[in-house]
Amino acid sequence: MSAGAVAVVLVAVVIGSITKGVTGSGLPTVAIPVMAGFIGVEAAVIVMAFPTVVTNSWLLWEHRHEARNARHLKRMLATGAAGSVAGVFILTTLPAAVLSLTLALVIFTYAGYSLVRPDVAIGERSARVLSPGVGFAGGIAQGATGIAGPLVATYVHGFRLDPGAYVFTIAAQFQVFAAVQVATFLALGRYTVDLALSSLLALVPVVLFLPVGIRLARRLDARRFHRVVLIVLVVMGGKLFYDGITG
């Protein structure tokens, strides 16, 4: 890549890292589409898989005391792991435009309803039914595109958890998705020397700027935190919609 291209990718990773630190999601959503424009979708997904494992490990440790407040994690993790494996195998054949537009529609519908009904929450009975399916769909999205954030974050936002519990819940899911994804890439021999080195280099801005996001999150109360999450989701939805109609 040229120096200009490297700078663009670096900025994308920095922005994604800060967003990840604040809301628990955002790094792959921001970084992968930018990187894909220079090295291709498959290579971008592979490069960002390992940094995603590192960021999720960091956030899980940071919010470990919130584990008891997470909801329906076991249901989503079990099906999500299976979905991640399936997603890797369809990485090169999945109609990305259809996925992008579908996720954008889900996000916009939820965000619009949240503005009209700011107290909207997913009930316990509904969560028991929906969680396994959302976990599986999120796993497929992660394995195939490296981006499960919009779907999983939108769903978990409906639980109306405290900020720490929210970040722990989605980080735990993303961690399982990404760990299975990395293991599958390794088993299939997808990591070349160049891709492995690029993945390690991507860790540098992540390690430097993820703590910035974590510090910013500590300054937000629950109400402001959920507003920030909703804004991030809408931005994600807009990006997915643009990718869908232009892809």
Q: How many domains does the chain have?
A: 1
Rounded average pLDDT over 208-227: 83
225: left (phi over 0), alpha (psi -120 to 50) or beta: alpha
Rounded average pLDDT over 21-50: 80
CA distances (Å), origin 73, targets 76, 144, 156, 175: 5, 22, 10, 12
- 139 within 8 A of 164, measured Cβ to Cβ: no
Residue 192 backbone dihedrals phi, psi, to 5 degrees:
-90, 170
Question: Which pLDDT belongs to residue 53?
Answer: 92
pLDDT band at 245 (very low <50, low <70, confident <90, very high): confident
Distance (Å, rounded) from C-alpha 130 to C-alpha 71? 12
**pLDDT greater at residue 214 or residue 29:** 214
Q: Which domain holds residue 192?
A: 3-246
pLDDT band at 138 (very low <50, low <70, confident <90, very high): confident
Rounded average pLDDT over 68-75: 78
Joined together, the tokens standing for residue 134 give 């959302």
Res. 45: pLDDT tops 60: yes
The string of DSSP letters for 118-135 reads TT----HHHHHHHHHHHH
Question: Which pLDDT belongs to residue 43?
Answer: 83
**pLDDT greater at residue 130 or residue 90:** 130
pTM for this predicted structure: 0.75
Joined together, the tokens standing for residue 44 give 């971008």
Lowest mean pLDDT across 32-41, 181-190, 191-200, 205-214: 32-41
Tell me, what amino acid is at 30? V
**pLDDT greater at residue 207 or residue 99:** 207
What's the mean per-residue pLDDT of the chain? 80
The string of DSSP letters for 176-223 reads HHHHHHHHHHHHTT---HHHHHHHHHHHHHHHHHHHHHHHHHHT--HH
pLDDT band at 205 (very low <50, low <70, confident <90, very high): very high
Rounded average pLDDT over 200-221: 89
Res. 114: pLDDT tops 70: no
Rounded average pLDDT over 45-49: 86
Q: What share of the chain in percent tops pLDDT 70?
A: 83
pLDDT band at 116 (very low <50, low <70, confident <90, very high): low
The string of DSSP letters for 18-69 reads HHHHHHS--HHHHHHHHHHHHH-HHHHHHHHHHHHHHHHHHHHHHTGGGGGG
Distance (Å, rounded) from C-alpha 135 to C-alpha 150? 12
Question: Which pLDDT belongs to residue 102?
Answer: 66
